[in-house]
Each structure stands twice: as structure tokens, then as C-alpha cells.
Amino acid sequence: MTSPGLYLRWLAPFLLCIPAVCLGATYHVSNQAQNASDTNPGTEQAPLASITAAMKLVTPGDTILVGAGTYREEVVWDGDDWKDPQKRITLAAAPNARPVIKGSDVLPGPWQRAQIDLTTPTDGPQGIYWCPWDKYPQMVFVDEEPLAQIGLQGSPARAKGTNGFQYKRQWDGKTVQDMRPGSFFYDGSAKRLYVWLADGSHPQEHVVEASVREDGAILRGTWTLRGLDIRHFQDGFWPHEQAVTVSGDRSIVQDCHITHNDFIGLIVSGQDCVIRGNEIAHNGLMGMTSNKGYRMLVEGNELHHNGWRGDVKCLTYGNKYVMWRDSRFLRNHWHDEPASALWLDISDANILIAENTFDNCNCGIYFEISRWAIIVNNTFRHCGRAVWIYSSDVLVANNIFDSCGEGVCVTGSPRHALYRQSATEARSKPCLMAVRNVQVVNNILIDCVGYFVGITEGTPHGSGNWSDYNAFVWTLKPYQRTGMHLNFMNGWDQLYGKLPIWRLQRHCDTHSVVVDPGQLNQLRLGSPYVGLGKHEVFADAKFIDRAAGDYRLSEASPLIGKGLTLPMELDSYVLPCDGNKILTRAFAKTHLDEAPDPGAALTVHGTKPNAHYRLQPLPRPRALVDLDACEPGTPGLNRHWRQTGEYPRFRTTGEAESVPDEDWVLAPENLLADASFDEPLAKEENADAGPWHGDGRMQVYQGMLAANLGPNQRSNAVTYQQIGKVRANAEYLLSADMTVRSAREGFAAIAGMYLAAGDPAKPMGDVVQVRREGGRGGSWNTYDLYVQTGEEGADANVGQTQYVVLYGRVEGPEGAAAGGPVVFPRWDDVWLLSGPSQ
């Protein structure tokens, strides 16, 4: 049980978000009042006519109350930023009012009918009308319903821009001839706006509005924004591309409808902010986004149909959050999102995602290039991919996955990521991103037809990831009687086929159970091919009411007791931020310009010295939860957590798992000093000719090492590079690309790699070798080789000179004529994954 003190410590930042008693002035706005005027004092008896007039009067501590009506204006506060969050400005709906702020104007007409020679003729009559209009509209609405834009999509300035935020699909048709029912087209040269209503009716019978404004509400400082509808704002290109921006500590955005805007709906950034009870929907690129947030609370919102414009070249759309720390997403409902519903990307840390519902989303949660997340007590229904983890230290537990294409995907590869530790850093710092310590426990996964769980293979950059004590439920018609419809994956590209194979090859889900009447029937018939025991296969999960979304288990459910009772403290170290000061790093700073010894770097392939990136020791493969120490429990939604509001958290005591900034690891790249094929690499007696040395029989070919058919085909052509001294208690990962080709029968091609130490150099561990017989070729593949060293004095390699060794040879008949290059080994990087620096 959590102590009251700990509970209050977690709650304290959000108690500070509650507005203090307002002691400032209150200004009333009501454009429907008969005596409304911007020259009025703004009292309730003599209100202002516009919000803009009120914004010119308010100072920190004041309140603006807006009456019912439609306000076609931009709401921007031009006052100075202030540092006292106790003095907030409130912009809110007046009691019992629902004001609307719009970025559109009504098209007055007159409307004239047009007869157009259409590119694609229609079967029925044309319903195209036009009216004069001198402003370029990006959106047109008929009785609040949007028409599709024909021609250039969105902002012309964005299409011409070079910032990487341009649409992949720039055009939908070109001229008025490409119109179709439910669309509009703007002819800029003739200053005409054409519309074709979906039902072909005359636009004069409807309210037709065209977007003309860019900034809906731009508020800087500490604000409360409450009870307003904000819509129809178009994309003015950076920095005028969002309908609502609230940037300031302890700000509150509550009970607003931010819908039908052209690019971004809502941006909130700062510390201790609350975004609660809003509808954020039908925004062109992103519904909500932010690139800085500390101790933020996103609660009880509905987000749907965002990203209708489609993707942009920089691959960001949906709802995306960058550099959020110590924040919570609670009880939100994402549905019908064509992109990522909740995308946390780059430097997010210590995130709780609980009690949310995701329906019909392309991807439910994507946690990428980040560390420390707790994803629990959520429900995912009919999503393409429900949860995607590309980060470290993540608990995915006690969730429901119903009818998703893919359940939980944990992917990872050595990735040179730009990772920011703090919003105050001038630039991002390169690092090696890890995918470690991800645990998938206590979940119920139902009818995930693509696969239930996919976890990247265990490598030093992607290890310690685990799945167990889950329940896999199949209620559809099986297409393979022995269970091959229950699929598991290596990340997303290697199929394990069924649960017994997943267990055998990956040792995951050894305690998980299956609900599948088809497999149970096969077991009862004595089939030896199911590969499961009768004690772990059941006929019915016995949910209270799955169709109604009630996934509680009845008292007769066989799943009760088949999970674990998880601890409240997870075994990974994190300290919450102090203000905006980062106290726990996910990875240490890595920029080469700050290297203590710039001369230690190599010069490679025409690049300047220091053209390597420093790779930081990764988080240790420490399990978040010791599953063997847990008491029995039940998979599925955890009612106790929901009732108490208490969720697992990361430990805040112990040894930090990041290393000091001055601990440098230099990793030379694989590009070679000489790219010509004919010139051999340096031989041993000419050691100063370049960084690579060997017997001279391996050559450089298009930036790769190559071994040709030589006079003695049964001896290796060898080359090697010195990379430093072997460290004690260290983990090394050698990654190399290799392919071998042998186009003729009777020949074979061999390529290999290993890490070596000493003089003479001897392999430190395994040797990775690829061989192809005559007539067969192979594609490029990446091979990883892992070596771990021991204590100094106990491991003879420690302190010895360390080398990367590559070799190749071609075997063929004696006296055969030389052929083309057939062996291509190329090493990418050696990573020091852990261990003290020298």
C-alpha cells in the first residue's frame, strides 16, 4: 500500500494547477447584446463586442467571460510574458454560454451556376456553382460539413516551403474540371470560388463558409482556456499553423472543442499544465502536439479523426508529444485516428498511460526513442497496431487488446538517434538508442489476427525484453487446427507461427494461457501437434459482456489467477524533474564537438577528423519486475489500481544508470580510406599507409572490402583494424554487413568477421562466417557479434590491443582463371555497451 506522503508528493504538482481566487478585473464580451461595443468598459451591463478588444485590456490576474455567439476573429494576447503563474489570465465561456471562435467567413454570394467539361464525367446532373471571392481558402464548409479541396492541398506557402513539413500528396486534381460532388475549387486568377455540394443542391440554401484566418487563440503565460469552440482556422505556415497555442506554466485547457482546423489543433507546452475534458478532432495534420512538457496531465479528452490531410514528408501526424517528462495520460478516448493516436517520440520519460480507450486507430500508442513508460489498464479495440515500443524500460501490463491487427510490437535495432535531454539544449545530441527492459505482462489479447506479441531478438542493443503471464484468446474460426493462427513475431518481420514455437525459440510466454475452443477440442481428441497442455487451454474466457466493452471476468472465468500481482515499484531508476531541470538522463550527452580528446578520432574516407559519433553505454538489461518473486494474480484490467488511482512507478533510490558526460567512447566508421578497386590495402610492413592492415589480398571496392579469386583459394585474405585496448567488465557488439556470391559451379565463396585481442591477435569469442556454394548468391545481411569481458587479471584479453578482423576467400579448382569480386565483408561499427572508461 502506498503511503499518504508518497501519494501527496505525486499529486502536489497538479494541486498547484488549481486556479487561485481571482482578484483581478473581469471583462464581459457578448456580441449578441444590443448595446455591445468595443468602446464599452466591458462590464456585464455594458459588454465588449469582440474578444480582441478584451485582450487589449487584460493583465495577469484578469478574467474574460465570453457570451454566446460566433466570434470571427483571431484571439492573440500581445502582452509580455510573465513569470508568476499565480497570476493567471482566464478566457472562458460565460455561464450557460457556448461561444464559437471561427477562422472562416460566410460566403454571401451571389452564386452562379457553371457548366464544366469535367475530366471524369458524372452520370447525374452537375451541381457546380461559383461566386466571386478574393481570398485563398484552404477549407470550405457547408452547414459545418467540410468539402474536399480540389487542386493544391492546404497552404501554398507550405507547398513552397523547405522545412520538411510538406504534404506527400500535394495535389488532388488540378483544375475546376477535376471537381466531383462534395468538393470545392478556388481559381486564384479569376478570383472565383467553385463549390459542388454532395447532394447537388444550390449553395444559397445553405450556410457556406470559407477559411480566411490563421491564428485561433495564441496565449503565452499562465492561462485558463475553458468552454470555447475553436474551429475553421487555416494553415498560415510556420509560425501560423496551429488553431490554439497555450504556452506557459500551470496553464489549463478545459472543456473546449478544437475541431475542423487545417493543420494543428492544439499545442500546450510548459510545466504543470492540465488538458482536461476537451474534444480535439478533424484537424488536418495533428490534433494535439507539444515539444516540451514537464509534469503534464492529459485527462478525459476525446480525440478523433485527426490527420485527415494525410502524412507529411517528415512523418509526423496524429497526436505527437516530444520532450515530455513525468507526465500522465489518463481516461482519454482516442478513436477513428488514421495515424498514431498517442505518439511519444524523442526524449519522453517517466510517462504513465492508464485507463484510456483506443478504438479504430491505425496505431494506438507509439513510444519511440524514449525511456521509462508505464502502459497499463488501457483498452484497445480494432486498431491496426495497438502498442508499438521502440524504447527502453517500459511496462505493458493489464491491458485489453480486442480484434487488433497487431497486439504489442517491441522493435529495436542499433539506431543513431538525435536525442535531447533538456529543452534548453541548443541542439540535439547523437546517441545509440537502446530497446531494453520492456516487459509485456498480464494482458488479455483477443483475436489479434496479425500477431499477438512481437519482440525483437535478444541483442546487446535490444535485450532484456520479455513477455509472459498473458492470456491469448481466439474466438474466430481457426484456419489451422493446431494453433498456427496464434502468431508471434521477431519485431515485425519473422514469424514464429504459434505459441509452442514462440516458447521454444524465444522462451517467452511460458506461463501464458490460451482460450481457444478449437485447440482444446484437438487436445481432447489426442492430437500431438497442438504442443500445449490441457491445463493451459480453455474454451471460454467468460467476460461479463465483451460486446458492450465490459471485459471484467466472471467468477467462473478460467483466467482468474493465471497472471501475477505486480509490485508498485519497478526496478529502474528515475528521478522526477525539478522544475524544468532534468535529474535523470535517459542517455548521456554525445556530441563530438565536446569530446575531451578530439585527436583520438580517426580520419576516414575523406571526412574530417572527429567525424564519428560517440556511443554511450546503454541501460543495463535489468528486468523491471522479478516475475519469479510475484504472487499469483489475474490478467486483464486491474480494478484495484483503477479504484485507488495508484499505479506502478519507477524507483527513485539507488544508483543512476547513466554515466558522466566526460566518459567517452569513440566508434570509428566503416568507410575506407581508398575507394579504388585496384589499389590494395596497406600490408603489415607499410603500417602507416592507412588504418586497415593485412596481407594485401583484400581490396577496396566501392567503399567495401572485397576478396577476388586468388591463386591459392583455400587460404583467407585477411585485413584488420586496431580499435583500442580491451576493457574490463565490458560488452562489445560488432556489427558487419556481408554478402558472398559465386556465379559458377564448383566454386565457393566465404566471408567472416570476429573481434581479436593480443599480439599475435586471437579471437576473443565466436567467429561469424557466411558461405555460399557455386551457382548461388546472397543478399546483403547485417550480422551481430557479441563479446563480454571479465575482471582485470581474470580475463587475459583485458588490456590487450583490440582488433576488428575481416576475412574472405574463394575456393575453386586449381589453376582456375580469376573472376570478379565475389566476397564483400564490410564492418559497420563496434559498440562499447557497458564498462568503465579508460
pLDDT tens for 316-342 read: 789 999 999 999 999 999 999 998 999
Interatomic CA distance for residues 683 and 693, integer angstroms: 5
Q: What is the pLDDT of residues 725-750, one digit of tens each?
A: 888 888 777 766 666 665 566 777 77
The answer to whether 389 touches 408, Cβ cutoff 8 Å, is yes
Helix and strand numbers (H, E) in the chain are 6, 71
β-pairing verdict for 148-149 and 128-132: unpaired
- How confident is the model at residue 11, as a pLDDT? 39
Find the range with the poorest average confidence among 21-30, 52-61, 403-412, 746-755: 746-755
Exposure string of 614-651, with b = 16+ CB inside 10 Å and e = fewer, is: bbbbbbbbeebbeeeebeebbbbbbeebbeeeebbbbe
Higher pLDDT, 408 or 619: 408
Interatomic CA distance for residues 206 and 111, integer angstroms: 12
How much is the average pLDDT of 395-406? 98
pLDDT at 266 over 80: yes
- How confident is the model at residue 814, as a pLDDT? 63
Q: What is the pLDDT of residues 763-792, one digit of tens each?
A: 998 888 888 776 555 555 567 778 889 999
Residue 65: what are its φ and ψ, rounded to 5°? Answer: -110, 125
pLDDT at 545 over 60: yes
| pLDDT band per the 50, 70, 90 thresholds, residue 455 | very high
How much is the average pLDDT of 655-660? 62
Exposure string of 324-338, with b = 16+ CB inside 10 Å and e = fewer, is: bbbbbbbbbbbbbbb
- How confident is the model at residue 482, as a pLDDT? 85
Residue 25: what are its φ and ψ, rounded to 5°? Answer: -80, 155
How much is the average pLDDT of 524-544? 94
Find the range with the poorest average confidence among 81-85, 134-138, 605-609, 794-798: 605-609
The answer to whether 394 touches 619, Cβ cutoff 8 Å, is no
The rounded mean pLDDT for the chain is 82
**Domains along the sequence of the chain with CATH:** 17-100+218-285 (2.160.20.10), 105-211 (no CATH), 682-834 (2.60.120)
Q: What is the pLDDT of residues 632-646, one digit of tens each?
A: 999 999 999 999 999
Q: What is the pLDDT of residues 201-223, one digit of tens each?
A: 999 999 999 999 999 999 999 99
Beta bridge partners of 1: none
The answer to whether 303 touches 333, Cβ cutoff 8 Å, is yes
How much is the average pLDDT of 784-804? 88
- How confident is the model at residue 621, as a pLDDT? 62
Which residue is it, cell 585485413?
A: 719
pLDDT at 344 over 70: yes
- How confident is the model at residue 462, as a pLDDT? 73
How much is the average pLDDT of 609-635? 68
Give the rounded percent of residues in the chain with a pLDDT score beyond 90. Answer: 57
- Helix (H), strand (E) at residue 303: strand 302-304
Beta bridge partners of 705: 700
pLDDT at 91 over 90: yes
pLDDT at 835 over 50: no
The answer to whether 370 touches 348, Cβ cutoff 8 Å, is yes
How much is the average pLDDT of 361-388? 96
Specify the 3-state DSSP secondary structure of 13. Answer: helix
Residue 530: what are its φ and ψ, rounded to 5°? Answer: -70, -40
The answer to whether 257 touches 235, Cβ cutoff 8 Å, is no
Cα separation values, 111 from 144, 198, 208, Å: 19, 16, 11
- How confident is the model at residue 121, as a pLDDT? 86
Cα separation values, 218 from 253, 291, 506, Å: 12, 16, 52
Higher pLDDT, 202 or 122: 202
pLDDT at 51 over 90: yes
DSSP structural state of residue 795: B
Find the range with the poorest average confidence among 229-233, 531-535, 575-579, 691-695: 691-695
Find the range with the poorest average confidence among 194-203, 293-302, 795-804: 795-804
Find the range with the poorest average confidence among 621-630, 720-729, 733-742: 733-742
- How confident is the model at residue 331, as a pLDDT? 98
Give the rounded percent of residues in the chain with a pLDDT score beyond 70. Answer: 76
| pLDDT band per the 50, 70, 90 thresholds, residue 813 | low
| pLDDT band per the 50, 70, 90 thresholds, residue 430 | low
Exposure string of 442-453, with b = 16+ CB inside 10 Å and e = fewer, is: bbbbbbbebbbb
Q: What is the pLDDT of residues 463-479, one digit of tens each?
A: 788 999 999 999 998 77
pTM of structure: 0.78
The answer to whether 350 touches 328, Cβ cutoff 8 Å, is no
